Amino acid sequence: MKSIKNQIWNYNGEIDLEECAPGVKRRIMAYTDELMCVENSFEKGAVGALHQHPHTQITYVVSGRFEFEIGGVKKIVGPGDSMLKKDSVPHGCVCLEKGILLDIFSPMREDFVEA
C-alpha cells in the first residue's frame, strides 16, 4: 500500500517500495502538507542524480557510505552523518556501499505522491 497523508501509524513492512532510479528504491513513510519522511534504499554504485528543488531537505545516513555533492562540494558520508539542503541548491549522490538514507522534506514533495 502507499503511505496516506496525515496517517498517524505507518509500518515499514506495509508501505510499498517504488523504484525511482536503477538501484534506488523509495518508501514514503509519513507526510502532511508541511512535512514528509522518505526512506531511500541504494544498491552499491546507484546514483541519486544531481537535481534541485525548492523544498528544504535534511538527509540522515542510516547505513552505507555515499559520496554527496551539494552546491558543487563533494564529501564522503556514512552512518550517523546528516546534510542540510535548501534554497534550490543542486545536490546528488553516488552510493559507495549499499545503504539507506532517510530524507525529511519541508514542505512535503507533492511530486512524490502524484504519480
At 17, the amino acid letter reads L
Between CA 107 and CA 83 the distance in angstroms is 17
At 113, the amino acid letter reads V
Domains and CATH numbers, the chain: 12-114 (2.60.120.10)
Please report where in the chains the cell 549499499 appears, as a residue.
98
- Residue 43 main-chain phi, psi, to 5 deg: -85, 155
Between CA 12 and CA 112 the distance in angstroms is 17
pLDDT tens, residue order, the chain (115 aa):
788 899 999 999 999 999 999 999 999 999 999 999 999 999 999 999 999 999 999 999 999 999 999 999 999 999 999 999 998 999 999 999 999 999 999 999 999 987 5
Q: Are 5 and 31 in contact, with CB atoms under 8 Å apart?
A: yes
Q: Are 102 and 38 in contact, with CB atoms under 8 Å apart?
A: yes
The reply to whether omega before 22 is within 30° of 0 (cis) is: no
